[in-house]
Amino acid sequence: MYFRTAHFKDGNSLVRAKQLIGIVLVVLITGAFVPTSSFAAKAVVDSYATWQKAARALEQTGTLYRPTFRAGLKQNSKIDILAFKRFTETREWVKYSSMLITVNYSKRLRSFSIMEKRANAKWAARRVADPGQRLVERRMIRLNDSQTKVRATIYANCAGAAPEETVRPGTRCTRSDVKSYGGLLIMKAPAKTSIIIESNGLSYSELVAVARGLKQVKVGN
């Protein structure tokens, strides 16, 4: 998975590199938002050991979802948050202009990464389409702590498995390709959080189970 970075006007920048699913580097280059007469800007750029600490840093309930099903994998990174927020002059409310929250889970050659953002904010780093990915299917899933079903789109990297072969446009991957070549699941949670899960070595069922097991983070749970 690759991301293009978002740029801000004043030129101050932070460069961070982290490994996603053991093989791809994501580099984040950011700067501070230029304050106006009506807004003051503040960046939240840090790593947190627990989901609760990450939720406190965002100061906005219902933004984060943590996995309760991890397919036997362990968290091998901190929860990284890159977010830019603006307050009104009276500081009565906060608005996030952009954000990117990432965390990785792995064990040996199996892994998955979760990327999240609040739906009314932009991605602080935008995902670039992978030409090797093809649609597996679209389906409805019910989250762990919600009675609402959400639509998920699942992809696999089957088109990049044999570069010498020509894959016709419109060709789909199969469920088994998710485990063989890596998978991607995209959805929006009821609390208006956009979620991307990318897996390596997990089966289709395990990838869906990770998504289904996501639970909204509240400080203290």
> Model confidence over 181-220: pLDDT tens digits?
999 999 998 778 899 999 999 999 999 999 999 998 887 6
Residue, of 94 and 167, whose pLDDT is higher: 94
The boundaries of the domain holding residue 115 are: 2-216
Q: Which of 13, 213, 14 is nearest to 114 (CA)?
A: 213
| b/e map 104-124, b = 16+ CB within 10 Å | bbbeeebbbbbbbbbeebebb
Least confident of 38-42, 86-90, 137-141: 38-42
User: Contact, 168 vs 139, CB < 8 A?
Assistant: no
Residue 121 lies in a domain: yes
- In three-state secondary structure terms, 72 is coil
- At 89, the pLDDT band (50, 70, 90 cuts) reads low
Of 56 and 5, the one with more pLDDT = 56
The confidence score (pLDDT) of residue 31 equals: 28
More confident residue, 129 or 69: 69
C-alpha angle with apex 139: 176 to 131, nearest 5 degrees? 55
Contact 42, 87 (CB under 8 A): yes
Q: What is the share, in percent, of the chain residues with pLDDT greater than 70?
A: 69
Percent residues over pLDDT 90 in the chain: 44
pLDDT digits (tens, 9 = 90+) for 117-150: 988 888 988 777 778 889 999 999 998 866 778 9
- Residue 139, amino acid: R
Residue whose C-alpha is closest to residue 207's, from 80, 50, 73: 73
Q: Considering the domain boundaries, does residue 221 fall inside one?
A: no
pLDDT score of 36: 26
Residue 66 region by backbone torsions, left for phi larger than 0, else alpha for psi between -120 and 50, else beta: beta
Whether pLDDT at 1 is above 70: no
Closest alpha carbon to 212 in 173, 47, 195: 195
Domain assignment of residue 146, yes or no: yes
Q: Which residue has the higher pLDDT, 60 or 206?
A: 206
Is 143 part of any domain?
yes
Which of 21, 41, 42 lies closest to 207, judged by CA?
21
pLDDT higher than 90, residue 50: yes
Per-residue pLDDT, 164:
55
Q: How many domains is the chain partitioned into structurally?
A: 1
Confidence at residue 111, expressed as pLDDT on a 0 to 100 scale: 97
Q: What average pLDDT does the chain have?
A: 76
Categorize the per-residue pLDDT at 5 as very low, low, confident or very high, splitting at 50, 70 and 90: very low
Cα separation of 122 and 100, whole Å? 9
* CB-CB contact of 139 with 164 (8 Å): no
Answer yes or no: is 83 within a domain. yes
Q: Are 71 and 52 in contact (CB under 8 A)?
A: no
The mean pLDDT of 56-73, rounded to a whole number, is 86
